[in-house]
Amino acid sequence: MNIKIKTLLTVVAVAAALVTDSAAKNITLLNVSYDPTRELYQELNAAFAQHWKAKSGDTVTIQQSHGGSGKQARAVIDGLSADVVTLALAYDIDAIADKARLFPADWQKRFPNNSAPYTSTIVFLVRKGNPKGVKDWDDLAKPGISVVTPNPKTSGGARWNYLAAWGYALKKHGNDQAKAKDFVAQIYKNVPVLDSGARGSTTTFVQRGIGDVFISWENEAFLAQKELGKGQFEIVVPSVSILAEPPVAIVDKNAKKKGTLEVAQAYLQYLYSDEGQEIIGKHHYRPNAPSAAAKYANAFPKVNLFTIDELFGGWRKAQKEHFDDGGTFDQIYKP
Amino acid sequence: MQNNYRRVAALIALGIISSEPFSGPVQAEQQEELRTKVEQLDQEIKILKRQLELQKEASAEKAKTTPLLTAGAGGFSLQSADTNFVLKLRGYIQADSRFFLDDHSAGTANDTFLLRRVRPIFEGTVFEKFDYRLMLDFGSGVTSSAANDAYVQDAYFNAKLWPALNIQAGKFKEPVGLERLQSGGNLLFVERAYPTQLLPNRDVGVMVHGTLFENTLTYQLGAFNGVADGGSADIESSDDEKDIAARIFAEPFKSSDIEGLQGLGIGIAGTYGNREGAPRAYSTPGQQRFFAFRSGAGTAAAPNVVADGENWRISPQFYYYYGPFGLLGEYAISDQELRRDDGAATFGNIENRAWQVSASYFLTGEKNAFKAVNPRKPFALGGEGWGAWELTARVSGLEVDDAAFPVFASPASSANEALSWTAGFNWHLNRNFKVQVNYEQTDFDGGTSSLLQEGEQVLLTRGQISF
């Protein structure tokens, strides 16, 4: 080949590479999340997109997928190409790491607070005036009361609900597992409908008018009270509840394949930023950052919280004993 | 569930009526009790409704991932929920009889029952744009072992880029003969006519094809290994040469308002290439050989003839369907350069010709077509339907070039012309089962064997099941 032609081609190739590299990119991320976080991530995504545009010049669009946490984990294991997962509980993310090997098993060490950018807990939502006089977990086990909670087999929130009730019974009965099992069984006798996710249960209770009490994520209860059915509901805070720590993780293999690893990392890091924590608090999740936590301290009721590690030995153990096939939930729940 | 609703609704109605302000000395306690009952029933209804709603949601969710399995007259089909993967299982079996009339003379083939075609078909689509097809054949004598060995008839994929441009590759029918392009399961007669013997069968290659002008014009253009007249092959074993095959077929009035011309199709097809290797013999409708090139050791006593050089074929063709009437015709010329080896080499060129005209008529009034016809009233024992009855007739001839004799073919054992008349009927009991009966009379010009002298009269029958 003529040397001049070669030189010309080289110049064109280098110029093209430079132009390509310097041009702003359009990036799309998929955040596979649990059921009640729709509103939270809508605002967070818009804020992060602005932040990232200002920082890098790139346009990032974040697609959201929501459903019961267990179902969402299964979808990712089955091939849903998530760049990040933001699920209700660590076990569901562990399941992705274990079964699909899309990221390392020690994923919880990658971000602060065991990769949980916020915490939450479980409270009760009752109808205005609390006509059934629900005050604590014991009231949910009484005959004649109708309790709404989702299915622990598919919903992360439902598993938190279940374990919160179990933990309450353990504390009340001196760690007696049999009594705790009976107590939780009594509550589930009062459950007429099992939705697959927390948002479905909100629909059941708020929009369909079913049930006397809804065992709910704290943030979802606030949402129902303030926005979905303003003035129609009241929040009842039980004497004891569980500290829920919904975690986040980058799905390394998917993100690498799609060339989104850097943005995915920045996106999850943004959840811990002042801006991110502010949005988190605004949506009734309990922020971890001291400034946001202080700002929203009065917005959240004071609850006596226990952790899953304290009473259940961590998520893997709790999952195996209570929610795997043949576990206590299968033993006590007879539809 | 519906009954439950009604029952609960009735109870609520009763409750509502009962909860109206009582005019008499009714106790407030009773009112409260009734109100509680109504509330309970209201909850029960809501719960039942919600459960139904959740069941529907779960079913819809499940449907998104559940493959769809269907079975019917058109075969079996398995389809992924996202429709990206489709597999259809189809097939047909033809159980024939071939009985020669007046076959006392020596050299006539045996009367026989046979499995003419036994063809399972696996076909489908992946990612909507890519079709595939695999058709095997276990019929009698399909392979050289004369056993029911499996033989790959079709194995190809087709990328549907646009209606006007498809790319097909693998083994499939070369786009030339009109009757050859008709599916073996839809044939009007038990055996195809003579033009098919001069034109290629299945070959391995690649082809672009498509439809233009609102499907009124079909074209095919392909490159293939190349096969001998009527031949089919999986691999090029004779030479490095390749054949080009092309066909264009128009149905100009297909979408017009001229009803009498909507079923008219006319086209022309051909092949061009160079060929080496053994040329094929020609057979009667009863599958008896009436012409063969010399085949021997290549000595003066036993000369051998092979194809050696340019080969071209051309085939004008048409069909016409109007109401229950159908007419199909085609003409074929095959021109081949040959070489005779008998210690020395003698070269020559022969040009063989064949033609056919066939007609059919549905006595039961079905609309005739090139493709499968469904009976208006399928046959049912004790029922009203008698299926579809179709009368058929055909005349077909094959002329061997005079230049073939005596250098390339023996004038004693080969005829230079065959003319066949066929009459018959088809009984389509239903979409899946068909009975065919043909009487074939063939006369020859040339040759001294008893077959060629006396001609062939054969009764061919077929029972066919297809799905």
The pLDDT score that the predictor gives to residue B36 is 86
Average pLDDT over residues A84-102: 95
How near does any CA of chain A get to the CA of B82, in Å?
14
Beta carbons within 10 angstroms of residue B56's beta carbon: 10
Identify which of A71, A120, A137, A118 has the alpha carbon closest to the alpha carbon of residue A279. A118
Helix (H, G, I), strand (E, B) or coil at A77: helix
Compare all CA atoms of chain A with the CA of B45 and give the residue at the minimum distance. A210
B51 in A contact zone (CB under 8 Å): yes
Core vs surface per residue B116-139: b (16+ CB within 10 A) or e: bbbbebbbbbeeeeebbbbbbbbb
Question: How does residue A17 score in pLDDT terms, banded at 50, 70 and 90?
Answer: very low
Phi, psi values for residue B418, rounded to 5°? -135, 135
Q: Which pTM was predicted?
A: 0.68
Cis peptide, bond prior to residue B406, ω within 30 of zero: yes
How far is residue A286's CA from residue A278's CA, in Å, rounded to a whole number?
10
Give the residue with greater pLDDT, B362 vs A7.
Answer: B362
CA distance to B318, B367, B372, per residue, from B263 (Å): 10, 10, 15
Helix (H, G, I), strand (E, B) or coil at B236: coil
B81 in A contact zone (CB under 8 Å): no
Render pLDDT for A183-239 as a digit per residue (tens, 0 to 9).
Answer: 999 999 999 999 988 889 999 999 999 999 999 999 999 999 887 778 899 999 999
Alpha carbons within 13 A on the beta-carbon side of B131: 11
Q: Which chain A residues touch B if contact means CB-CB below 8 Å?
A: 146, 192-193, 195-196, 200, 204, 208-210
Type of residue numbered B427: W
Please identify which residue in the block is written with the tokens 């092949």. Answer: B271
How far is residue B50's CA from residue B5's CA, in Å, rounded to a whole number?
12
pLDDT under 50 in chain B at which residues?
1-3, 15-19, 22
CB A220 within 8 A of CB A36: yes
Type of residue numbered B82: D
Identify the sign of the CA torsion A301, A306, A312, A314.
positive
- Check B47 against A200: CB less than 8 A apart: no
- Check B50 against A196: CB less than 8 A apart: no
Phi, psi values for residue A64, rounded to 5°? -115, 140
How far is residue B110's CA from residue B113's CA, in Å, rounded to a whole number?
10
Question: How does residue A19 score in pLDDT terms, banded at 50, 70 and 90?
Answer: very low
The pLDDT score that the predictor gives to residue A2 is 47
pLDDT exceeds cutoff 70 at A121: yes
